[in-house]
Structure 1
């Protein structure tokens, strides 16, 4: 069976290059990887007089996924897709999947579908709310608000929150690649993630030493998808917010396992009860 294409959706401020370590591992294992440059990660956030918002990111992810489902990377035949999302990227990454699961695609006479969505330290937020409202109406102190854009401090703030467990040189390389994020992402309504991704299996990679997304927020997200009737497979990475930089080999194996390979990831299985490592 042909391997699915891996569509990589970065989080706030991040770019596809942040996935490069994992991407190399996946490509060495025979996968084609496509990175999505989110429109919301930009120093020029105004388009036609408005701020770029979540819907723009949703559209970019959906276009990248549909391109692979319907035409493939130059093959012309289309490919199944696994969508891998990180942090904020889990919002547009799940909201972009309406009608792209196997059952919905079969009803349209399509032979390809999104076979899984991977969420790394991501969110399931109430539809219609805003990220700013979730953050209590103001940006966290590690954000620097510059006009229409926001970004983490390019220094201790970014290292302490995003890359707290990385080698200093590796952390600095990651910081150099960060982009600002449109303030409109924080003020635009959150789409209905659970409804849009209905029919697509969910796999969640929790990060045990995450300083950006607290452990409780990660477990609540897993519980939220399960409460919405989803069968969520989850594992725990001994990592801060960026396991694709801290433990890229194991992260790649998690994606490969989700994509259908029978292998051991090196991570522990997460249980709803909070007990990990059980078989």
Structure 2
């Protein structure tokens, strides 16, 4: 049986190169991988939104399904919201029109809708300027201390490099309300125990809440900060393969 196509939705303030350490060995192992450049992050952030990202990911997934490819969509951090949102019309009853199938969702230290808006995420840093830097001229923002939030388990040199690559992201325009694809397909979740950007207790609380609400969620924990695809790419690749070949296998 052929390997599924893997679509990766990176988190905020990053660009697709952050997943190169995972993408390249997966492609060498025979997986087709897509890491789309999201319009609401980077040069277009002032005039785009998460809706534009979701549409891009939706169209990419739809094309793969139409071509007869089975697909797993992975989301990191707030990319978990977009990974879910992009699957509206492609899972459940909407799946019947495609030759391929969405096998499930892989989440890396990611938000799960709508649980992110509930008690499991009650301590998320508010948009009050203490954690964020807001543009004075555009509707965009940046993390105040990305080194501490995202790269706390990396070498100083590596952390400095990735901190230098942080780019603006469009401000959210309302509540974090997204389609809940996890209710229709199984999920594999990689929780990061040393995470400063999204504390481990919040990650596991969201997983537990989704399971309580009837979702199928396979949980794996690694001793990592918020970006295991950078700090421990080999283990992240192993996890992705486990997701594709065992947990969410066709």
TM range, smaller chain: 0.7 to 0.9
Q: Equivalent residue for 2:218?
A: 233
The 8 Å contact of residues 128 and 192 in structure 1, kept in 2 or not, is answered as no
TM-score, normalization: structure 1? 0.79
The 8 Å contact of residues 147 and 159 in structure 2, kept in 1 or not, is answered as yes
Query: Residue 53 of structure 1: CA displacement?
Result: 2.7
SS at match of 1:223: helix
Runs (5+) with no aligned partner, structure 1: 72-77, 263-279
The 8 Å contact of residues 5 and 33 in structure 1, kept in 2 or not, is answered as yes
Query: Residue 240 of structure 1: CA displacement?
Result: 0.3
| Residues 140/202 of structure 1: CA separation in 2 closer, same or farther (3 Å cut) | farther
- C-alpha distance in 2, partners of 1:177/1:137? 24
- C-alpha distance in 2, partners of 1:68/1:104? 15
| Residues 227/193 of structure 1: CA separation in 2 closer, same or farther (3 Å cut) | farther
TM-score, normalization: structure 2? 0.88
- C-alpha distance in 2, partners of 1:102/1:112? 13
- The RMSD of aligned alpha carbons is 2.4
Q: Which has the larger radius of gyration?
A: 1
Runs (5+) with no aligned partner, structure 2: none
| Residues 87/200 of structure 1: CA separation in 2 closer, same or farther (3 Å cut) | same
Q: 2:135 aligns with which of 130, 146, 149?
A: 146
Query: Residue 159 of structure 1: CA displacement?
Result: 0.9
Q: Equivalent residue for 1:32?
A: 32
The 8 Å contact of residues 116 and 259 in structure 1, kept in 2 or not, is answered as no
Q: Equivalent residue for 1:62?
A: 58
Q: Equivalent residue for 1:122?
A: 110
SS at match of 1:85: strand
Question: Deviating runs (4+, > 4 A) in structure 1?
Answer: 127-130, 133-137
Query: Residue 67 of structure 1: CA displacement?
Result: 2.1
- C-alpha distance in 1, partners of 2:155/2:190? 21
Query: Residue 222 of structure 1: CA displacement?
Result: 0.3
Superimposed CA distance per residue, residues 52-109 of structure 1 (whole angstroms, 9 cap, x where no aligned partner): 33222211221121122223xxxxxx3111111100110111111123237642x32x
Query: Residue 17 of structure 1: CA displacement?
Result: 0.7
Query: Residue 181 of structure 1: CA displacement?
Result: 0.5
Superimposed CA distance per residue, residues 119-145 of structure 1 (whole angstroms, 9 cap, x where no aligned partner): 111112438969xx9756524523211
The 8 Å contact of residues 102 and 112 in structure 1, kept in 2 or not, is answered as no
The 8 Å contact of residues 128 and 189 in structure 1, kept in 2 or not, is answered as no
